[in-house]
Chains A and B, each alone.
Chain A
C-alpha cells in the first residue's frame, strides 16, 4: 500500500473538517477524491502533503509514518489549482527548482539536471518554451509546467489539488486525458482532488466520494456509478431521478434506466416538457401530474420509434430502481 490514512480528524474553529477518515491508496494507482466544496477533500490532500497537521490519526507513505516528517522531506509532488509557479524564474528554472535546492551531496550534476529538464519539457510538450517566464504562458501550459516541476524530483506520491479548476472546459478535457496517459507511463501513485464528477470518473482508477468531512464510498468509477452506497453518492455522481417513497426510504433511478411507452398502463402518466435530441442520447424532461420533473435519456432509435414531440403525453416506468434510506443532508 502506498498511502495509508488512518482515522484522520481535523477541526477548525469549532467546525469538523475531517471526521475519522481512513483510506488506503495502492502503489501506482490514480485515486480521485471527489466531493462538493467544503467536504474536506483539499484538507485531506494537504495533510497527506504535510502542509497541515491533523488533530488525530496518521498518514503513512510506503509503510513509514509521515507525521514527523517536515514537508520538504516527504517527497511528495504537489500541484496547486492556481499553479503556484515561481514568477521570477523561467520555465526551465521552475522545473529544475526541486533538483537545484537539494543538498550538495545529493544534487545531480549540472548536466544531469539540464538533461532531466529537457526530458520533462519534452514530456509536457513545451520543448521550445524553456526560457519563457510563467507569465508568458497560457493557463494550460502553466499547469503542465507545474506538473513537470512536481515530477522532476521523482516524488513517491503526486498530489493534485483541483489542477484543472482554473481552466476552460476544452483545455480541461484535453489535460485530463493527457494526465491519464502521463500516469500510465509514470505510474506514480497519484491523488487528484476534484469537485467535477466527470473528471473523477474519466481519469481515476478509484474514486473516493467525500461529503461533510467523511468518505462515503470508495471504489472503481463503475461501481460508484452503478452501485452508489448512499443517496448522496447517487445524486452527486451522475444524474439521478428521485422517485417515490418506499418502506425502506426513497427510490431513485438513473435517466437511462427509465422506460417510456405510449400505452396507458405502462407506468405513470407524464408530459414531455423538453426534448433535446442532440448527441448519442435524446434527453427528455418529463413532468408528472404531481409537478415533479424527471430526466429521461433514450437512444435516438427508441425516440424515433416512439414519435414523441414536446408536449406529448407518455407513460414512464423505471427499469431499475435503487433505494436509499432517508438522508436529510441534501
Chain B
C-alpha cells in the first residue's frame, strides 16, 4: 500500500475512519452480493455436473429458456424501435406538455410489474376490454406467449428511450439539417447521421433492456398462467421447481440466469467505456 500516495494526515478523514468505512463497504459487498452469487453457482453444482446439465436439458427447462429468449428478443426489438422513435420525436419536437410526455416514458418503471401484468389482463383477458373480440377471432393473448411478450416489452420500454433522449438533444438538429441540404433523404439521414451518433447509447439501452427482460418475473407471472412446458419463462420455471424442492434443478437454472446477468454487466461496462471514449474525442 505504500506506493499509493495518501493525503497527509489531518487534510482528509483520519486514517482509522477511512479503513473502517472501507472495511464496512467491502464486508457488505461480500455478504450481500458476492457470497450469495457465488453460492448460487456452488449450489447449482452441489449435486454434480451430471445433475446440473440434466436440469438444463430437461424438457420443461429447455422450453422455459426458449420462451425467455423469445420474449427477450421481442422486447428488445419493440423497445429498441419504440425507444428510438420516442427519443427522436421528444428530442426534436417541442410539443405541448413535453415534460409530461417524458414522465409518461417512465411510467413502466414507476408501476409495480404485478400491476403492469394485471393491466394487460384487464385489457386482453377473457373478461377484459378486448377479450371477447379477441376470443371471437380465436386469438389468445393472456395465458399465452403474446401476453408474455407484451408484459416483458412493457416493463422494459423506458430503457432505450431514456438512454437516447439526452443524446438526441445533445446531437441537435444541425447535423441532420446539414445532411438533408447535402441531398440525403430522411432515411439516409437517419441511417448515416442520426443512428451512428446514437449507436453506443442504443446498444447500452438494449443491453439494459435485455438483462431486465431475461429476469422479468412479476408482470410475466400474472399473464403467463404458469402452464408447464408452454408459458413458463426461465424465472417462472426456477420458482416452480424450487417450490417442488428440486433445489439442484432450481439452482442450475438460477446459475444460468446469473451468468447472463454477469455477461450483460460486462458488456454494459464495455459499451459505457466506448461511449465515454467517443464522447471525449468529440
Contact = CB atoms under 8 A, between A and B. Distances in A.
A14 interface: no
Contact of B177 (A84, A136, A152): A84
B183 A78 contact: no
Contacts of A152: 182
A276 B259 CA distance: 76
A101 B178 contact: no
Interface in B165-205: 174-175, 177-185, 188, 192-193, 196-197
A144 to B, nearest CB: 15
B67 to A, nearest CB: 38
A98 B183 contact: yes
B181 A77 contact: yes
Contacts of A87: 175, 197, 282
A82 interface: yes
Nearest to B188: A101
Main secondary structure of the interface of B (DSSP, over half): helix
Given A72-B185, A101-B192, A135-B281, A88 B197 contact: yes
Contacts of B197: 86-88
A84 B178 contact: yes
Contacts of B181: 49-51, 71-72, 74, 76-78, 150
B179 A86 contact: yes
Contacts of B278: 88
A133 interface: yes
Interface string A65-94: 000001111111110101011111000000
Interface in A126-146: 133, 135-136, 146
Nearest to B182: A98
Nearest to A82: B174
B173 to A, nearest CB: 9
Contacts of B184: 72, 97-98, 101
B250 to A, nearest CB: 46
A102 interface: yes
Given A133-B281, A135-B281, A51 B183 contact: no
A73 B180 CA distance: 9
Contacts of B192: 86, 97, 101
Contacts of A153: 182-183
A84 B281 contact: no
Interface of B: 174-175, 177-185, 188, 192-193, 196-197, 278, 281-282
15 contacts: A50-B181, A71-B177, A72-B183, A74-B181, A80-B177, A86-B193, A87-B197, A88-B196, A97-B192, A98-B184, A133-B281, A136-B281, A149-B182, A153-B182, A153-B183
Interface of A: 49-51, 70-78, 80, 82, 84-88, 97-98, 101-102, 133, 135-136, 146, 149-150, 152-153
